[in-house]
Chain A
Amino acid sequence: MTRGGYQSIDVLPGLDRRELIKLSAAGAGLLLGVPSVWAAQDEKAAGSARVKTNIGDALEASRCRWSIPGPFPGRVARVTDPRAMKAGRPDAAVVREMFRAGLTGLAGRKPEAAFPLFFEKGDVVGIKVNPVGAGLISTRLEVVDAVIEWLERGGIPRKNIVIWDRFDYMLTDAGFTPGRFPGVGIEGLQTMDEAAAEGKRDNSRWLRPDGHHVSEAGFDRETYYFADVEGPPDKAYLNQQVFNGKYSYFGKLLTKRLTKIVNIPVFKNTGNGISMATKNLGYGAICNTGRLHKPLFFDVCTEVLAFPCIRDRLVLNITDGLRAQYEGGPMPVAKFAWEYNTLFLATDPFALDTICHYLMVKERKARGVRVNEHPRYTEYLRYAAELKLGTTDPKEITVVAG
């Protein structure tokens, strides 16, 4: 494990500042007030207006001391230890050591001393995991263990910790169960009946007699991401998305109960882009997202994070690259997964994704995967910088070895 000290991007393995700057410069002159859509999926005529959203509502809300990019804008800690994965399984002791080293590198002080930079007494902390691809490419339980230990040492009782994701059944599949994490809350924002979706069962388990989804109560009708686009008005969509229409409500867990969020995505691609820190929350904290992929895609990762219930609570992001996936994501594909043995930590989710996007592109090229580096796949990062949500100019990002 590389220990201590700060290093520039140039001297860290796999990072080349000139290449990174080139990546950024490709998008210079685009943007910034009018983020583009993911037009490869967009059948609209060129030049037509972008789908209207209520991002203005989010920007009007006053910021607070906890707002992203947090105390370390533009700083990313990276920790690699080849001992982390043993025979395909994480070594809990090594992972714990990596987490603590990364935190020390990020904050410049020991984890216990750094604790007040992130939390205060009485906090209710939500740990957002990514359970997709259970076992193969989902958030490692051992990373969550390390975070929980740190929280407990800092004075957060287990009853004030909630491991969460959008879908309850995925949490179970990925091993986030009460038996594995006793005393810690484990909550999905919603349920979905997979068997009904596959046509093997009727809709009675997810659809109430009045025609509403059983998970409606889990979402806050007062706090929403509006986008002027709708999904198909059918039951299959409703089963998965809870609501039809133009509103994506935030989970009540975020708006009513959590006071802080620790975000633990996985290092993986989604097409030409990445599905990491900002997508884990952008598409994981709200319902009715199916309608958003085509017209807005990555812009959702920026705009949803601008809303106070995330912006003012997201204190730490840990990208789990113990096992990573360079192709076929966001769904699991074993042949494209590899043991990367790396964790990334940042308070600034957009700086983190900027670095990880660059590393992903580099990895894909090295493995012979064709890469489309069109600026549209990173415009959402520069858009976030314009909204003052993070630092995405490589010249202003420091990568720290944990």
Chain B
Amino acid sequence: MNIRKILATLLAGAMIFSIAGCNSNTNTGDTAPATDESATDAGNEADTTSGEKPYIAIVSKGFQHQFWQVVKKGADQAALDLNVDITFDGPPSESDIAIQVDMLKSAMDKQPAAIALAALDTESVKEQLEACLNNNIPVVGFDSGVPGAPEGSIYATASTDNAAAAAIAAQMLYENTDFKAKLDAATADAPIAVGVLSQDATSESVVSRTTGFIDKLVELVGDENVKVSGHDKYAKDAASAKLLIVVNVPATTSATDLKTSAESLLATSGLAAIYGSNEAAATGMLTASNDGSEFNSENGKFGEIIAIGFDAGKTQRVAVENGWFYGSVTQDPYQIGYQAVKLAVDAINGVPAASEIVDTGAQWYNAENLTDPSILELVYD
């Protein structure tokens, strides 16, 4: 009994000492709990010529897809080129907002010289961003970045212009002769449908790609001719619409839910085309169609339906190669990772940001241009 009490007291004492010892700065006045300690020290250390490599903490949206592995490759290379230390972390899935917040907090606790963040949900990390701002830890956004972040808290963002990328998909769909023919033949009584499989309705990249696609299609077909349904966020009514855009957002980002959502869209009557917002959505479409083979225009079950994906991954690449997917839009995940680190280093060195967004670009790829080496290097496995 006595030993236990002594141990407990010692433990409590050790905890109190560590908190007291680290709490050197009491005038930060920030709201985030465990981050006040040594954050300011980190800000000063980065510029010293002590020979110690600056440390950049990267918090991504996850490792769920090969996409992030390629982002990591780019970041690793940049770390090598620019002589910095990085850690690359991400929550187990893109639904795990709370876990990402925790990861961000522990990244801040590691006293980084800078942080690179791809937020699953900006609101959830607002507190931590304020803390970083108050402690002079520059934060760089990448991929979805941190849209709507508190003024001045984000140095710059390295990302794809998602809305523009999605607009490419809409443009290519509109220019497809089969689709054009169906669209011209459609009337308000016999409309055609386009399915949009959107992984979630919270992260900026997915939302932008959904909105970008829908907006461009509405612009091309005519506002009064298009009705959007399926999810309140994108809903739009039209009295006599000949094109129905149906948006489906699954309950979670799990493979099983995405497959079910894809199947539901593929069963929509009058479906002429289906579009996926990212690699996960494209994977959902692929698993719902026997890895894409059912989109085979000759004898496939969904041969009549035009499938358009996003990002890459081996199965999607095969589907595009074989012409089952009409095409897909790929980003440049390698550059996203590389630029994220580069921007972080610029921020550490006090270089003023050249622009708020560094557009890492998007490309349309299909069976024809996949042989082009510049496209091929963007289409990861």
Q: Do A and B come from one complex?
A: no
Show the binding face of A for B, using Cβ within 8 Å: none
